[in-house]
């Protein structure tokens, strides 16, 4: 993505979530300038930290004793709770000169656990303040440390590249020298040469998919930007597969909510699903019913209607799993559902009684 796209994505993530964006780009592309512009546009304060120049004491503060208790003084850069919304920019994260500095900042760039505050040692950051990270890619042309996968997994990686049209608009807004702008208009290849690929070895993880879910719930990204953002969380291959799955609505498995709450529209699709797709629907139903086992009368009937459509062996396995959920077992074991459920229960009972 270019700088303008990066700014749009940052605004969405910072104002709507607690996730930590990490902007990856080559020198001079405009990472810091873009972040400062975002702060101005949304009315936030900007607090830069050049981690390549900092030690652990600069981050966690100086220890002092009060009676028999050890405390750490608040660093001068730390935004106070009542301060206006502030964006703390952890610049040059992978240029931290000491390993313990990188380990200290690890906790701070990690998104806060739901209901808690972002922390750094004994300090707690008010929820109105957010964090952004910038780094140069570890492609061999920069003196940077390699970030381990656990740290990468806690951030949304945004890859920013040089783009002449984006720079030309910026140059015009800043009224840069007209001769320079005219020259580069005809020689755009001299603006900046693209470096090596900025691969941070991002891979899909449970935490990554939760971050994707958070972004889909709270943020809106235009066009292909969504795929780029998701690729910075779960990797390019997984992001492409996911986006294709989203686009292929006809081949998508029915969700538990569609089966339970919209059966009239779901019945035909349910009957036509392949066995592998049916398995995805069954897994979603089991997960949903384990969390919320209480069913309304219409939902009971819809669940039984779905069970009736399943092949005999799949039906038995599904009913066997449902019987492990007491509230659901009680609902589907009613006499009025015997035509569908009784045979499955009888077979299951025979399996249990067989020595």
Q: How many CA within 13 A on the CB side of residue 24?
A: 26
Give 267: exposed, middle or buried? Use CB within 10 Å, 0-12, 13-18, 19+.
Answer: middle
According to DSSP, residue 115 is labeled T
Q: What is the mean pLDDT of residues 283-310?
A: 91
Judge if pTM exceeds 0.85.
no
The whole-angstrom separation of Cα 244 and Cα 208 is 18
- In this predicted structure, the answer to whether residue 96 has a pLDDT above a threshold of 80 is no
CA nearest to 271, candidates 320, 298, 308, 321: 308
Enclosing H/E stretch for 47: strand 45-50
Q: Mind listing the pLDDT tens digit for each residue in 144-178?
A: 777 888 888 889 999 988 888 888 888 888 888 88
Q: Mind listing the pLDDT tens digit for each residue in 169-189?
A: 888 888 888 888 888 888 877
Which tokens in the block code for residue 231? 């690729």
CA nearest to 46, candidates 56, 66, 58, 32: 32
pLDDT given for residue 298 in this prediction = 92
Q: Characterize the bridge pairing of strands 156-160 and 86-91.
A: unpaired
- In this predicted structure, the answer to whether residue 195 has a pLDDT above a threshold of 60 is no
The whole-angstrom separation of Cα 162 and Cα 172 is 16
- In this predicted structure, the answer to whether residue 281 has a pLDDT above a threshold of 60 is yes
48 - beta bridge partners?
89
CA nearest to 234, candidates 213, 209, 210, 198: 209
The whole-angstrom separation of Cα 109 and Cα 171 is 32
What would you measure as the largest C-alpha separation in the chain, in angstroms?
Answer: 91
The whole-angstrom separation of Cα 62 and Cα 51 is 17
């Amino acid at each position: 993505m270019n700088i303008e796209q990066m700014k749009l994505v940052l605004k969405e993530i910072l104002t709507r979530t607690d996730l930590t964006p990490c902007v990856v780009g080559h020198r001079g592309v405009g990472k810091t300038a873009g972040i400062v512009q975002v702060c101005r546009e949304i009315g936030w304060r900007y607090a830069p930290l050049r981690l390549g120049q900092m030690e652990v004491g600069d981050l966690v503060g100086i220890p002092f004793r009060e009676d028999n208790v050890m405390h750490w003084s608040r660093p001068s850069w730390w935004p106070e709770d009542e301060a206006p919304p502030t964006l703390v920019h952890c610049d040059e994260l992978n240029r931290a000169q000491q390993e313990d500095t990188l380990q200290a900042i690890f906790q701070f760039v990690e998104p806060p656990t739901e209901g808690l505050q972002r922390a750094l040692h004994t300090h707690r950051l008010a929820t109105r303040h957010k964090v952004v990270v910038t780094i140069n890619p570890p492609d061999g042309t920069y003196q940077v440390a390699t970030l381990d996968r656990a740290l990468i997994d806690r951030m949304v990686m945004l890859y920013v590249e040089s783009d002449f049209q984006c720079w030309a608009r910026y140059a015009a807004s800043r009224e840069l020298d007209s001769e320079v702008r005219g020259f580069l208009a005809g020689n755009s290849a001299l603006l900046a040469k693209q470096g090596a690929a900025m691969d941070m070895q991002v891979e899909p993880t449970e935490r990554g998919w939760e971050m994707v879910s958070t972004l889909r719930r709270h943020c809106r990204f235009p066009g292909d930007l969504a795929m780029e953002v998701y690729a910075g969380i779960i990797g390019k291959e997984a992001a492409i597969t996911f986006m294709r799955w989203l686009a292929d609505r006809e081949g998508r498995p029915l969700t538990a909510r569609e089966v339970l709450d919209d059966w009239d529209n779901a019945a035909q699709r349910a009957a036509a699903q392949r066995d592998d797709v049916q398995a995805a629907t069954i897994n979603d139903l089991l997960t949903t019913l384990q969390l919320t086992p209480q069913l309304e009368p219409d939902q009971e009937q819809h669940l039984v209607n779905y069970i009736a459509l399943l092949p005999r062996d799949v039906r038995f396995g599904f009913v066997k799993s449902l019987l492990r959920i007491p509230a659901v077992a009680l609902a589907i074991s009613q006499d009025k559902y015997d035509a569908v459920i009784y045979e499955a229960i009888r077979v299951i009972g025979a399996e249990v009684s067989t020595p």
